[in-house]
Structure 1
Amino acid sequence: MHMVTVMQRGVWPLLLWPFLRTVSIPLDCQEEQGSPSRCPSISQEKLLDRVIQHAELIYRVSEESCSLFEEMFIPFQLQLQRNQAGYACITKALPLPSSKSEIQQISDKWLLHSVLMLVQSWIEPLVYLQTSLDRYDAAPDMLLNKTKWVSEKLISLEQGVVVLIKKMLDEGMLTANHSEQGLFQYDVQPEMLDSVMRDYTLLSCFKKDAHKMEAFLKLLKCRQTDKYNCA
């Protein structure tokens, strides 16, 4: 695939590398052989703080990735075309609150489950996105690395949210069901322009959903400390 040549390819890693180095304390929810998962040993307050920190970083890096992709591959005319075509986000069908009033009214339980739904819905699409970007002739390593980093951190975030649900709501451990949701199909091979626009849509939509994850978690944190002043 012949893409736009990146004139300042050597400059981007210097500008964007700090975002990849700004890595939070790991959630450490993965179970190693012969040892229990570490997340249950973390206090609820500290776990929520770490989950929020992960969500903040994921949104920050996704925002930079989207801007970089847009600058490299999406001329202004294509940005208008995307807006006019009305590309829909893959999570549009999820039962999520869509207004400030709805967000304020939903329970802590549904805030957490909303975050979990968003996280799980994006795990497979981000794997597809990595595969797709690997086929771009001019995609810099920084963009590829950032996408891979976000994908890995999203799985870590999922584990943290699952344990947080167990701690806060006294529910049984939830299993990941992103492979069964059927929200995203990528088994077709689109034309070059369609592929670029679809990848751009994925990045743009993920950036918006990553911001939702961060906002929901921060609202939850606010409710834990100042329940009546979280507008």
Structure 2
Amino acid sequence: MAPGSWFSPLLIAVVTLGLPQEAAATFPAMPLSNLFANAVLRAQHLHLLAAETYKEFERTYIPEDQRYTNKNSQAAFCYSETIPAPTGKDDAQQKSDMELLRFSLVLIQSWLTPVQYLSKVFTNNLVFGTSDRVFEKLKDLEEGIQALMR
């Protein structure tokens, strides 16, 4: 080891250990409405990404006359799109906590049947196990939201 090469890691360790634990472990508080608005934006982005991925999959692997979206124009849309939801931060902030909880509950319940169906369709253990875990998480969320609504 070259002389003085130990100095930098030692200095970093001393400075890090010298920080108060509270300062190093805290995160700024964020209002629930901001978290919800962020979740809505992320969900919208994921929905668009999933729709684009599905369309690309169909174009690549399924002959045009056999494409499900050609036979059923509504299939191109997610059925949970029909659930009335806040459209942005301002809209979410104007809703009561109970309205936001109701929306969250309906959204989660709308995914229970498709996820359960997915686990029955695939025989692959990896997919089956994953969809079972997702179903369990959705059920936990459903129960948690119902408890909050009481």
- Give the structure with the higher percent helix: 2
Bigger-Rg structure (1/2):
2
State the TM-score, normalized to the length of structure 1: 0.34
State the TM-score, normalized to the length of structure 2: 0.50
Structure ranking higher on relative contact order (CA contacts 8 Å, 6+ apart): 1
